[in-house]
Amino acid sequence: QQQVKQSPQSLIVQKGGISIINCAYENTAFDYFPWYQQFPGKGPALLIAIRPDVSEKKEGRFTISFNKSAKQFSLHIMDSQPGDSATYFCAATTGKLIFGQGTTLQVKP
Amino acid sequence: ETGVTQTPRHLVMGMTNKKSLKCEQHLGHNAMYWYKQSAKKPLELMFVYNFKEQTENNSVPSRFSPECPNSSHLFLHLHTLQPEDSALYLCASSQAASYNSPLHFGNGTRLTVT
């Protein structure tokens, strides 16, 4: 299976809260998992990425948690800010990048 | 200019028209891509070019015809499109056509087929 299933489709969080977006995959050959962030009217941009040999990667307020046995990975945005409001795409690859359906995040002031 | 530039930003065309989308990257990358983005669907890879050579055609209908004259420029020629082809078309580039080489996207061309 080449799909990456992403949830939720949309998310509303209060400023200062934690935003959590989840992704699941079937293909155990996937070995690189990036997250892209897309603001309205802009193209996606790489936010953070992880390999399956680590369980967590943190960059500032953004953390990827990876559960290899469950074939799941998630993005946590700590202390969410209105400027984080965007669409987030998870992806997985072993050659061709397979994207999830996207999650639209709205952070309310 | 820096990054990946796409023109036009918006395009409305009839089903019998012929038009072209243009992409230019100023990053010195060797690989370029066309993606289709439709609402509530994953980004769909259409074509990949590596050092000007097409390395992937993801079963794209022949009404979409890519052209890559050099590593900095990529075109998507459109003809006899269907209304379901209306979408945001994104160009991207990367240093190499390898799986862990980050993609740098342009801001896309919003295409409406009437």
Classify the phi-psi angles of A71: left when phi > 0, otherwise alpha if psi is within -120 to 50, otherwise beta: left
For residue range A54-75, what is the model confidence (pLDDT) as tens digits?
A: 999 999 999 999 999 999 999 9
Instruction: Give, as one character, the DSSP assignment of residue A56.
Output: E
pLDDT at B2: 63
- Considering only the beta carbons, identify the residue of A49, A93, A99 that sits closest to B43: A99
Asked if B103's CB is within 8 angstroms of A97's CB, the reply is yes
Contacts of B43 in chain A (CB under 8 A): 44, 89, 99
Contacts of A46 in chain B (CB under 8 A): 102-103
B20, amino acid identity: S
For residue range B59-71, what is the model confidence (pLDDT) as tens digits?
A: 999 999 999 999 9
Distance from the A4 Cα atom to the nearest Cα atom in chain B, whole angstroms: 9
For residue range A4-60, what is the model confidence (pLDDT) as tens digits?
A: 999 999 999 999 999 999 999 999 999 999 999 999 999 999 999 999 899 999 999
Arithmetic mean of pLDDT, A85-96: 92
For residue range B81-110, what is the model confidence (pLDDT) as tens digits?
A: 999 999 999 999 999 877 778 999 999 999
pLDDT higher than threshold 70 for residue A1: no
Contacts of B50 in chain A (CB under 8 A): none
pLDDT higher than threshold 70 for residue B1: no
Distance from the A76 Cα atom to the nearest Cα atom in chain B, whole angstroms: 20
Distance from the A45 Cα atom to the nearest Cα atom in chain B, whole angstroms: 6
pLDDT at A19: 98
pLDDT at B21: 98
For residue A94, the chain B residue with the least C-alpha distance is B99
Composition of chain B by helix, strand, coil, percent to 5: 5, 55, 40
Which residues of B make CB contacts under 8 Å with A? 4, 40-43, 45, 56, 90, 92, 99-100, 102-108
Contacts of A10 in chain B (CB under 8 A): none
Backbone angles phi, psi at A22, to 5 degrees: -115, 145
Q: Which residue has the tokens 């000007």?
A: B52
The span from the CA of B111 to the CA of B79, in Å, is 13
- Point out which residues pair with A87 in neighbouring strands: A38, A104
Q: Give Cα separations from B85 to A6, A52, B37, B80 (angstroms).
A: 24, 36, 10, 10
Q: Which residue has the tokens 């290899």?
A: A68
